[in-house]
Amino acid sequence: MSADTAHRRRAFLADTTALILFFTTTGALNERYIAGMTWDQVLHARLLGAALMIPVARPYGIWRDYVMRRASESRLSQLLWDSAALVSFQVPIYAAIIAFSGASGPGLWLGVLSATVMMLVLGRPYGAFLNAVRRLFGLPPGGAKPMSLDT
């Protein structure tokens, strides 16, 4: 296996691990206590969510790296750009997941609205978590160099 292939594989595994760990936990809390879904619906949503996170985790990581290149070194800039990256990529996916899993009417809208607020708040913590997981996999943090499919 070439070094490039190994790097891409580690990047895929790091981004997927981070997304599944972080958002399985936060998604379950939102679905149960904000959207009012039953535990069975939460389980279904989290299983579906995990299955969908596998193909979208690395594209999100690449998207985040691209968006974060616009951020300055200031904490406020990092917070705003990380949050913008997360909301713009993940909220539409999350809305589809909970709708498919049984949320409807006001519960669906409340779930999407609360997920939007949650992702605005969690954008930077998730970005920091993602960078920490990437370090564990021997990868640099994202956003510091031009976007490419193998970063």
Q: What is the structure's pLDDT at 143?
A: 60
Q: What is the structure's pLDDT at 82?
A: 94
Sign of CA dihedral 118, 88, 133, 52: positive
Q: What's at 137, amino acid-wise? A: F
8 Å CB contact between 134 and 141: yes
Q: Report the candidate in 34, 42, 84, 41 with the shortest Cα–Cα distance to residue 60.
A: 84
CA separation for the pair 78, 149 (Å, rounded): 22
Residues 12-41 have a mean pLDDT of 91
- Whether pLDDT at 135 is above 90: yes
First to last CA, the chain: 17
Q: What is the structure's pLDDT at 114?
A: 86
8 Å CB contact between 69 and 77: no
User: What pTM was estimated for this model as a whole?
Assistant: 0.77
Burial label, 137 (beta-carbon count in 10 A; 0-12, 13-18, 19+):
middle
Query: Each residue of 87-117: pLDDT tens digit?
Result: 999 888 888 888 888 888 888 899 899 889 9
Q: What's at 113, amino acid-wise? A: L
Least confident of 23-32, 42-51, 61-70, 139-148: 139-148
* Domain edges within the chain: 15-137
